[in-house]
Chains A and B, each alone.
Chain A
Amino acid sequence: MKWIGFLLVLAGTCGVGFSLVGEYTMRIRVLSQIRDMMHYINDLITIEYATLPEAFRKAAERMEKPFSGFLKRVSDRMDDFSGEDVSFLWKHSATMLKDVMNKKDYQEFLGCMKQTGFSDAKGQSRALKAYEQRLELQLHQLSEQKEEKCKLYRTLGIMSGVFVCILLF
């Protein structure tokens, strides 16, 4: 019975460690998707002079779920001239992304459409590019630390389990 208990404690702490690794990897994946999405949108604005809803709609075709659905929802509402401004629509529709994003990343994502209404495409692109660059930097840091952090989470998970077992023994 005692050994079964030890095994369960060890499995639990290891599970926590591995789930942290999973979260870390997932965060990198989500942030890369957002970076790609912003990149598409930026290209459509600077190369095709697409309006924001047009850029969102076209980018939605290239993105995976749930970002495709998010972009489509924003562009549809804008094309319908629903009366709300783009920042509100962005924030409102982003609730569907809440579960896939880290809290800090989510807050930053909500604010990235605050600066719109530029009369030249370069100005609009620069405003979006600033967010894209922040994402790039963040991704760079996360990727650099990935191996180290994942190793740490796994080791901590196993070691804390072993430690608790020793204490209980």
Chain B
Amino acid sequence: MKEKSVLQLFPGSLRPLFEGVAKRCFDLSEIRIRAERPVMIYRRGKEYYLTEKGEEKLAEANKTPDALCLETGQVDNLFSYLCQYSPYAYSEALKQGFLTVTGGHRVGVAGQAIRTEDGISGIRNIRFLNIRISHEIKGCATSVLPFLYEKETDKVHNCLIIAPPGMGKTTMLRDMIRQISDGSDVHRGSVVSVVDERSEIAGCFMGQPQNDVGMRTDVLDACPKAFGMEMMLRSMAPEVIAVDEIAVREDVETLLLLLHCGIRVIATIHGDSLEEIMEKPYLHPLFEALYFKRFLLLGERYSACLYDEKGERLV
């Protein structure tokens, strides 16, 4: 299934070259395509280049003798194909520099920015594509899940997932959402609203989640977090709201509003430690009121440390 979704990213003329890459998609993280430059493949932190025969070879500095280099026209065609020949329909996403395609994979784009008085209105002459392969790791949140529920009420604790980039915050959040939404023999399922500003959690393609986010989950895709959380609060009557990467004051203000309303929140944030997060001034209102009862710190390979509001380690 995953293999097919990776292969589907390429038009027929390029498919034979990417068949091998797609077959080993289980550890594939990125495919970087640059016009007239070698196609690079990233797996488990290692960098490979793709040969003209479709084989992967470990990249060493600037030595890529038999590398496959796509021509400008081929990159253009690949981009059009990924957009289903309708780039206009993705104009809002392209302003942010990415689009989400079938399978929930994200394609970052770069080229020539079109500047207007209001900022960047789009990108033309797209010559650089970064295809980030979406990975779902079902069950990665299982070990922490029992500690996320209040014993008396069976409601979910407000939880903040903290980790540096690339440590699996979104993957962990996605699995938490799925399990909280579906419920289990021990815990009932809850109605979860996801505000997925960058289409990374649910990986929506044409509004349809490509990742399993549970049977009681509603997704608002490609909407700014602060605005989206308020919308979901008004429209979908959620028990839990989940958002990725709290980064600005407006997000915190809206989170406070939700917490005042009794909505449970699961959010992620960039950071190396709990102390570092606590020092961020714009987060002070959240911590002062002791709203968050669980803090999940992620390390290498989804290793997780769960703390309670007193800083005591639970897992």
Contact = CB atoms under 8 A, between A and B. Distances in A.
Nearest to B114: A119
Indicate the size class of the contact surface on chain A: 20 to 34
Contacts of A82: 12
A80 B12 CA distance: 12
Nearest to A50: B89
Interface string B89-106: 101001000000010000
Nearest to A125: B88
Nearest to B89: A51
Given A54-B206, A81-B102, A85-B77, A121 B88 contact: yes
Contacts of A123: 88
A118 interface: yes
Interface string A104-128: 0000000000001111110110000
Contacts of B13: 83
B84 interface: yes
Indicate the size class of the contact surface on chain B: 20 to 34
Interface in B10-29: 10-13, 15
Interface in A112-147: 116-121, 123-124
Contacts, number: 68
B9 A51 contact: no
B86 interface: yes
A116 B80 contact: yes
Given A49-B89, A83-B10, A83-B12, A78 B84 contact: yes
B282 interface: no
Nearest to B15: A83
A9 B83 CA distance: 60
Contact of B88 (A79, A86, A119): A119
Contacts of A50: 86, 89
A52 interface: yes
A84 interface: yes
A66 B89 CA distance: 27
Given A51-B206, A54-B206, A119-B122, A85 B88 contact: no
A78 B85 CA distance: 9
B53 interface: no
Interface string A22-55: 0000000000000000000000010001111110
25 contacts: A49-B89, A49-B91, A51-B83, A51-B84, A51-B86, A51-B206, A53-B84, A54-B89, A78-B84, A79-B84, A80-B8, A82-B12, A83-B11, A84-B11, A84-B12, A85-B11, A117-B76, A117-B80, A117-B85, A117-B87, A119-B87, A121-B88, A121-B91, A124-B86, A124-B88
